[in-house]
């Protein structure tokens, strides 16, 4: 794949796929059933790291818990999740029985780590040899883990009464963190009032002993009350960001306290400055409205932008609240380029995880045709899934939808809604859904990558880079008139060229021979780089021909100073008249340049020459005769007019 050279390493420029409390008057609900100690400090972590590196198994497990907390708070999420997995696995390898047991369950279920049933079985056998003995010897963590396995009959005979006895035994000597783990292991999801009553004192004990996460959870047991307000105040004062956000809502709406807009915004700002994107978004709204703070549109724009960047990271990591909030941002254009089609995708992912409000959003998008083709049946289905409580948010639109639908259409919408099933994020794959799931909402995975293409005929032939569409199961082309499914007509792997075909007509740009292109000639490209962060509007880059040969003097390539980024691959390299003289293909990798020369490359990029494209097009019967005629006027048109023509012919390539 790509540029074949023994001396230069290149990376292709293609993008690899990178709460909301929707009703502003609702406090954010609990989102993750796992204990977290917000007060953990880096000095403690460094001490744990030193012990773990010296072979201390328990320190390795505790260090993994510390990284888990940071990942849970989405602080350097990917790096901390990788460190968590590393130290958790290391603890198991060093003989920590609890780590071995938990690692086995994670590998078996495919939660947080790739599923590996063989490895899971090995770790489980190893853990179960010692776990009961370690629990009997008084190890509290082992007692909690053993109780979980007995409660669920996980790898051992189910023994509910035995599990209860081990929990009681562990609670007597448990730390606040362990008490919270005990409560979560039983009380978080249990609908049994007796079981919840049994473990409730442990949550309160952990909160009373100063654990901020326990205080936050306890507040949710007494929602909107004075007691809840008190616990949130304690947790927020210790730096617990989620508690700050909840406390701001309590102060804004006077839940369990006197309403105080200034104090509410103060806590919102604290959470925003701590990096929480939901808080950043709320703070931006307060600045826009002048609510509890001086009105400042410029600062509001800044905080909206910061919020959107954070929401994109959380949404991609599977946080349903962030997916919904990011969808809102895309739908309104706050902090990001407006894209209703992208908003629909994020709403859909949140809805399939069980988010309570996004089904209504989807219903209204289908009802109005915003971001998707208008479809009353799908609109009615999604609104039905949202339920009567959500319908009350937009009663007039829902009533108008019902009024114009036939009985048969309503019945079909109800049929689809009745077969709706929540799909957890880790199972986000249309193959795991039944026929109704695929039918409802036109289920699809997010694109795994994207690139740029350009139309070369008015009949729908599009050129892009081969590496953009290689191994694709589905390719879509996004034009200004909508999205079309593309067929891969032919690919030239050696020269990194692919030709696609879509139905319908497209504005085309001419391709000319690159033989007359001179060193220093002005060239440009229009493309779709980093669409997740930069949006889907086309971006222009301009530069010069830096060399008539590519890496290792490869004659197939131009070296260009045109700035390119992930997502520009496959875009046209055009001259001052708007003729295509190359295809944007690759950039010099920084690490390769540093290894060779000791310095970073500065704008060293490559494009395959158009002469190789023309030769390839001759191999496709009839295509060469239908190419757009070259622009040969002696007087070059205005560059901005050239750019407009090229822009109309360029398309965004989505690869599934």
Quote the pLDDT of residue 100: 92
Q: Mind listing the domains of the chain with CATH numbers?
A: 1-17+447-656 (2.40.10.120), 318-439 (1.25.40)
Quote the pLDDT of residue 510: 95
Instruction: Taking residues 415-419, report their average pLDDT.
Output: 78
Rounded to whole angstroms, how far apart are CA atoms 586 and 571? 11
Report which of residues 421 and 306 the model is more confident about: 306
102-108 contacts at long range (C-beta below 8 A, 24 or more positions apart): 102/145, 104/155, 105/154
Quote the pLDDT of residue 71: 64
Three-state DSSP at 7 gives coil
Three-state DSSP at 366 gives helix
pTM: 0.55
Please report, to the nearest 10 degrees, the dihedral formed by the alpha carbons of residues 462, 464, 470, 471 taken in order: -40
Rounded to whole angstroms, how far apart are CA atoms 182 and 174? 9
Handedness of CA 362, 366, 372, 375 (dihedral sign): positive
Count the neighbouring beta carbons within 10 Å of the beta carbon of residue 119. Answer: 16
> Between the CA of residue 466 and those of 263, 432, 496, 571, what are the distances in Å?
56, 30, 5, 12
Contacts of 482 (CB under 8 A, 6+ apart): none
What is the pLDDT of the chain when averaged over all its residues? 82
Contacts of 532 (CB under 8 A, 6+ apart): 15, 17, 18, 312, 316
Three-state DSSP at 500 gives strand
Instruction: Taking residues 292-301, report their average pLDDT.
Output: 94
Maximum C-alpha span of the chain: 91
Is 21 a residue whose pLDDT tops 50? no
Instruction: Taking residues 110-125, report their average pLDDT.
Output: 84
Handedness of CA 262, 265, 267, 270 (dihedral sign): negative
For residue 604 the two structure tokens come to 């060293």
Rounded to whole angstroms, how far apart are CA atoms 453 and 570? 5
Quote the pLDDT of residue 429: 39
Which pLDDT tens digit goes with each residue over 24-70?
Answer: 333 333 333 333 343 446 788 888 899 999 999 889 988 888 887 66
What DSSP string runs through 302-335? HHHHHHHHHHHHHHHTT-HHHHHHHHHHHHHTSS
H/E stretch holding 417 reads helix 407-418
Please report, to the nearest 10 degrees, the dihedral formed by the alpha carbons of residues 311, 312, 318, 319 taken in order: 10
């Amino acid at each position: 794949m790509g540029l074949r050279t023994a001396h230069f390493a290149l990376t292709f420029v293609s993008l690899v796929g990178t709460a909301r409390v929707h009703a502003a008057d609702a406090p954010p609900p609990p989102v993750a059933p796992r204990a977290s100690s917000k007060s953990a400090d880096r000095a403690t972590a460094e001490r744990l790291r030193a012990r773990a590196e010296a072979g201390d198994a328990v320190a390795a497990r505790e260090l993994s818990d510390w990284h888990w907390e940071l990942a849970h708070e989405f602080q350097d999420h990917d790096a901390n999740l990788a460190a968590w997995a590393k130290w958790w696995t290391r603890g198991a390898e060093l003989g920590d029985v609890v780590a071995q047991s938990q690692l086995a369950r994670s590998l078996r279920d495919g939660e947080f780590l790739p599923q590996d049933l063989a490895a899971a079985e090995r770790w489980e056998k190893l853990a179960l040899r010692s776990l009961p003995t370690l629990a009997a010897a008084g190890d509290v963590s082992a007692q909690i883990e053993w109780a979980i396995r007995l409660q669920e009959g996980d790898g051992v005979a189910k023994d509910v009464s035995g599990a209860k006895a081990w929990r009681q035994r562990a609670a007597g000597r448990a730390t606040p963190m362990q008490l919270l783990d005990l409560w979560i292991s039983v009380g978080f999801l249990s609908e049994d009032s007796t079981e919840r009553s049994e473990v409730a004192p442990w949550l309160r004990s952990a909160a009373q002993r100063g654990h901020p996460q326990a205080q936050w959870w306890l507040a949710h047991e007494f929602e909107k009350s004075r007691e809840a307000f008190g616990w949130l105040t304690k947790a927020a004062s210790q730096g617990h960001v989620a508690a700050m956000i909840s406390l701001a809502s309590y102060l804004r709406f006077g839940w369990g306290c006197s309403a105080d807009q200034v104090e509410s915004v103060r806590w919102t700002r604290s959470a925003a400055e701590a990096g929480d994107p939901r808080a950043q978004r709320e703070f931006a709204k307060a600045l826009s409205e002048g609510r509890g703070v001086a009105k400042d549109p410029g600062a509001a724009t800044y905080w909206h932008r910061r919020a959107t960047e954070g929401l994109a990271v959380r949404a991609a990591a599977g946080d349903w609240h962030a997916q919904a909030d990011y969808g809102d941002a895309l739908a309104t254009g706050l902090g990001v380029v407006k894209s209703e089609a992208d908003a629909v995708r994020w709403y859909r992912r949140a809805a399939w995880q069980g988010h309570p409000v996004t089904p209504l959003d989807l219903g209204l998008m289908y009802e109005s045709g915003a971001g998707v083709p208008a479809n009353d049946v799908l609109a009615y289905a999604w609104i039905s899934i949202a339920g009567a409580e959500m319908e009350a948010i937009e009663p007039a639109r829902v009533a108008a939808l019902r009024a114009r639908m036939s009985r048969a259409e309503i019945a079909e919408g109800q049929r689809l809604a009745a077969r709706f099933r929540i799909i957890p994020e880790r199972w986000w794959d249309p193959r795991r859904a039944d026929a109704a799931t695929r039918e409802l909402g036109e289920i699809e995975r997010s694109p795994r990558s994207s690139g740029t293409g350009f139309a070369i005929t008015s009949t729908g032939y599009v050129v892009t880079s081969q590496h953009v569409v290689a191994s694709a199961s589905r390719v879509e082309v996004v034009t200004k008139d909508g999205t079309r499914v593309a067929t891969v007509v032919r690919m030239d792997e050696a020269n990194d060229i692919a030709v696609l075909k879509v139905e319908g007509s497209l504005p085309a740009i001419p391709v000319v021979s690159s033989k007359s292109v001179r060193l220093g000639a002005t060239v440009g490209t229009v493309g779709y780089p980093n669409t997740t962060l930069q949006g889907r509007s086309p971006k222009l880059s301009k530069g010069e021909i830096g060399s008539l040969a590519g890496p290792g003097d490869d004659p197939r390539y131009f070296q260009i100073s045109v700035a390119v980024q992930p997502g520009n691959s496959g875009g046209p390299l055009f001259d001052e008249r708007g003729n295509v003289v190359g295809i944007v293909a690759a950039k010099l990798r920084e690490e390769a340049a540093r290894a060779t020369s000791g310095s970073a490359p500065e704008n060293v990029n490559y494009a395959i020459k158009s002469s190789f494209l023309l030769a390839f097009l001759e191999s496709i019967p009839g295509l060469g005769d239908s190419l757009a005629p070259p622009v040969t006027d002696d007087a070059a048109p205005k560059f901005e007019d050239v750019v407009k023509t090229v822009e109309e012919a360029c398309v965004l390539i989505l690869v599934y």
